[in-house]
Amino acid sequence: MPLFIATTFLASLPSNATVSAGAVRTHWSIENSLHWVLHVSFHEDTSCIRKDNSPENMAMLRHFALNLLSRDKSSKFSMRAKRNKAAWDLAYLKHLLNL
């Protein structure tokens, strides 16, 4: 038996299926492009940081690192490989910080 998951979106948009579908797709494109990278490459979901402002601070640092790594077009490595390279190679880290 197939499992159907119904999702309701509250919006002030007119009830036009094309417009509504476009808004939903735009939302999920952000989820899939940004948050997926944070979950997979930065293991954001497994973080045990929970006290005071620490979760927000670490999220900001992860976004900062993601932006630095995304701006680097000198290599075609994955995000994970770029993170490892930056951790192991001080010259590459300096290159990232000077972009």
Structure tokens at 7: 């999702």
Q: 5-33 pLDDT, tens per residue?
A: 545 555 565 667 777 777 767 766 666 66
Q: What residue spans define the domains of the chain?
A: 17-97
Residue 54's identity, in one-letter code, is S
Could you give the C-alpha distances from 41 to 63, 88, 92, in angstroms and in order? 12, 16, 18
Total-model pTM: 0.63
Q: Which residue has the higher pLDDT, 95 or 33?
A: 95
> Distance between CA atoms of 12 and 19, rounded to whole angstroms?
11
